[in-house]
Amino acid sequence: MSKGYLILAQNSSSTDYVRMAYALALSIKGTQLGVNQVAIATNDEVPEKYKTVFDHIVKIPWFDHAKNSTWKIENTWKFYYMTPFEETVVLDADMLFPTDISYWWDVLSSKDVWATNKPRTFRGEVITSTKYRQVHVSNDLPHFYIAFFYFKKSDLATELFKMTNIIFDNWERFYYTYLDETRPKFNSGDVAYALAIKLLGIENECFDTNSIPTFVHMKSALQNIDEKYISEDWTKSIPTYFTEDCKFKIGNYEQYLPFHYQIKEWLTDDMINKLERKIDL
Residues that bind other proteins (CB under 8 A): 120, 123-124, 225-226, 229-230, 237-238, 249, 251-254, 256
Nearer to other proteins, 126 or 137 (CB): 126
Q: How far is the CB of 114 from other proteins (least distance, A)?
A: 20
The values of phi and psi at residue 49, to 5°, are -60, -40
The rounded Cα 151 to chain-centroid distance in angstroms is: 13
Dist. CA 102–CA 32, nearest whole Å: 6
DSSP, res 278: H
Query: Would you list the DSSP string of 117-166?
Result: ---B-TTSPBP---TT-HHHHHTT----EEEEEEEESSHHHHHHHHHHHH
User: Which residue's CB is nearer to other proteins, number 119 or number 189?
Assistant: 119
CB closer to other proteins out of 230 and 263: 230
Shortest distance (Å) from residue 230 CB to other proteins: 8
What is the total residue count of the chain?
281
Closest approach, Cβ 226 to other proteins, in A, equals 6
The CB-of-211 to other proteins minimum distance in angstroms stands at 9
Q: CB of 57: closest distance to other proteins in angstroms?
A: 35
d(CA 193, CA 114): 12
Least distance (Å) between residue 277 CB and other proteins:
23
Whole-number Cα distances in Å, 98 to 176, 247, 278: 41, 6, 12
Q: What distance in Å separates the CA atoms of residue 123 and residue 230, rounded to the nearest whole number?
A: 14
Handedness of CA 39, 214, 71, 65 (dihedral sign): positive
CB 181 within 8 A of CB 84: no
Task: Pick between residue 154 and residue 237 the one whose CB is nearest to other proteins.
Answer: 237
Question: Smaller CB distance to other proteins: residue 46 or 230?
Answer: 230
For residues 43 and 99, which CB has a smaller minimum distance to other proteins in the complex? 99
